[in-house]
Amino acid sequence: MRKIIYWVHTSVDGFVNGPDGEFDWPVMGPELSAYSEGLDRTVDTLLFGRPVWEMMVGFWPRAESISDDPHTRAFAPFWRATPKIVFSRTYEGDDWTARIIRDDLRAEVTALKEQPGGDLLLTGGAGLAGALTEHGLIDEYHIAVHPVVLGGGKRLFAEPKQRLSLRATGSRLLDGQIVVTSYEPVR
């Protein structure tokens, strides 16, 4: 069965974006970029909630014309070539969306995980991750904690309805400042 891997950046105080929705604070140094690229090699589908999707589709299709950052240059071709599923009840789709999942999250995602193929990567955001977590559908959490205090924004785990017990499976200090810890849910 395919796994859902949740890959997310957070501040030390537990926010995935700033008070005004800003996401200008993660620093993708060479080690963190290599870690991210390692996750990319295990997946064949990308998953996005609508808010993150709108940010991604506004940048990655033409990323190399906006930035010459090494991480951007490495990730952009992967992003463009990989099928992308957006979760939204109202989004109509676009040229970059392979599929939209609107209803019955548990059944649709369970069926998706049962299909043959590589793992599924949920990148960033908190809303979709929270909903998938509530249904027990995320298999791995990879959380990069950046050395910044944002003081507000969207929480990594916003008011979960139930306790989630996790088991750490690894932790690394990358680029001398970012701690990435991987977890599996205790079931």
What tens digit of pLDDT does each residue of 79-98 get?
Answer: 999 999 999 999 999 999 99
The one-character DSSP state at 58 is T
Domains belonging to the chain, first-starting first, are: 4-185 (3.40.430.10)
Q: How confident is the model over 107-135, as a mean pLDDT?
A: 94
What tens digit of pLDDT does each residue of 51-76 get?
Answer: 999 999 999 999 999 999 999 999 99
Is the pLDDT at 128 greater than 90? The verdict is: yes
Instruction: Please choose, from the candidates 149, 151, 145, the residue with its C-alpha nearest in 3D space to the C-alpha of residue 174.
Output: 145
What tens digit of pLDDT does each residue of 15-39 get?
Answer: 999 999 999 999 999 999 999 999 9
Strand partners, 121: 5, 46
pTM of the model: 0.95
What is the C-alpha separation between 66 and 49, in angstroms, rounded?
24
